[in-house]
């Protein structure tokens, strides 16, 4: 599942390692989450959105252009 976590994380000036530590995740787990390989729990999704100061929809859902 594609998401915008990396985009918003970089805009806020967080490194992957720092963001993972704040979320109490291993760097590997956070990379998997950021790359869309795993889905977060509802609680984790809320925490990520709050840290990034965006809605859950903005952080996790990307409308794909259809041709």
In this prediction, residue 2 carries a pLDDT of 82
6-65 pLDDT, tens digit each: 999 999 999 999 999 999 999 999 999 999 999 999 999 999 999 999 999 999 987 665
32-46 pLDDT, tens digit each: 999 999 999 999 999
In this prediction, residue 62 carries a pLDDT of 72
CATH superfamily of 5-58: lambda repressor-like DNA-binding domains (1.10.260.40)
Question: Using CA atoms, how far apart are residues 49 and 67, in angstroms rounded to an integer?
Answer: 30
Instruction: Please tell me the pTM assigned to this model.
Output: 0.86
User: Which of these, 41, 58, 57, lies nearest to 7 by C-alpha position?
Assistant: 58
Tell me, letter by letter, the H, E, C secondary structure of the chain.
CCCCHHHHHHHHCCCHHHHHHHHCCCHHHHHHHHCCCCCCCHHHHHHHHHHHCCCHHHHHCCCCCCC
In this prediction, residue 63 carries a pLDDT of 64
């Amino acid at each position: 599942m594609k998401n915008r976590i990396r985009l918003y994380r970089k805009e806020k000036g967080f490194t992957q390692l720092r963001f993972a530590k704040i979320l109490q995740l291993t760097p590997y787990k956070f990379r998997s989450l950021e790359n869309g390989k795993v889905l977060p729990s509802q609680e984790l999704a809320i925490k990520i959105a709050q840290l990034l100061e965006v809605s859950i929809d903005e952080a996790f859902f990307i409308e794909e252009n259809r041709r």
